[in-house]
């Protein structure tokens, strides 16, 4: 019973942190990622928040345009957050799924850099 309370508490804090991030991002950073505003670089997750905002408005096409891999964002974060528990239960399968998600995000990021969609001003 106590373990269930801890899990519920963790999920509440997790989703509250995401909500706080989205609210502060939309208020203080004009809807942009704080990392992008402060450091002037884009990360592999750039566009994910915009994609989820568009999805919440029912704009599936707009969500894919904002970030083509938005559908793996939440599962990826949940897998990372619960990695130890999932690894005990599902073993190597969790490593494989996590690895595939990371490879997809990195490949998408490299493609965006090579195509000129991302300019890494910190490196120049």
Note the pLDDT tens digit of each residue in 74-106: 888 788 777 777 888 888 888 888 889 889 988
**Distance of alpha carbon 92 from alpha carbon 38, whole angstroms:** 38
Give the tokens for residue 8.
Answer: 């519920």
**Distance of alpha carbon 64 from alpha carbon 92, whole angstroms:** 30
- Give me the pLDDT at residue 123, please: 45
**Distance of alpha carbon 43 from alpha carbon 109, whole angstroms:** 8
CA dihedral 62, 102, 33, 109 (to 10 degrees): -70
58 CB-near residues (< 8 Å, 6+ apart): none
- Give me the pLDDT at residue 86, please: 83
């Amino acid at each position: 019973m106590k373990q269930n309370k801890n899990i519920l508490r963790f999920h509440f804090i997790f989703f509250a942190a995401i909500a706080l991030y989205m609210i502060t991002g939309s208020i203080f950073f004009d809807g942009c990622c704080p990392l992008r505003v402060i450091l002037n670089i884009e990360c592999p997750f750039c566009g994910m928040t915009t994609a989820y905002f568009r999805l919440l408005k029912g704009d599936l096409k707009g969500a894919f345009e904002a970030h083509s891999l938005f559908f793996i964002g939440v599962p990826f974060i949940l897998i990372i957050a619960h990695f130890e528990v999932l690894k005990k239960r599902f073993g190597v399968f969790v490593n494989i799924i996590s690895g595939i998600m990371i490879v997809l995000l990195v490949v998408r990021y490299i493609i965006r850099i090579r195509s000129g969609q991302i300019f890494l001003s910190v490196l120049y």
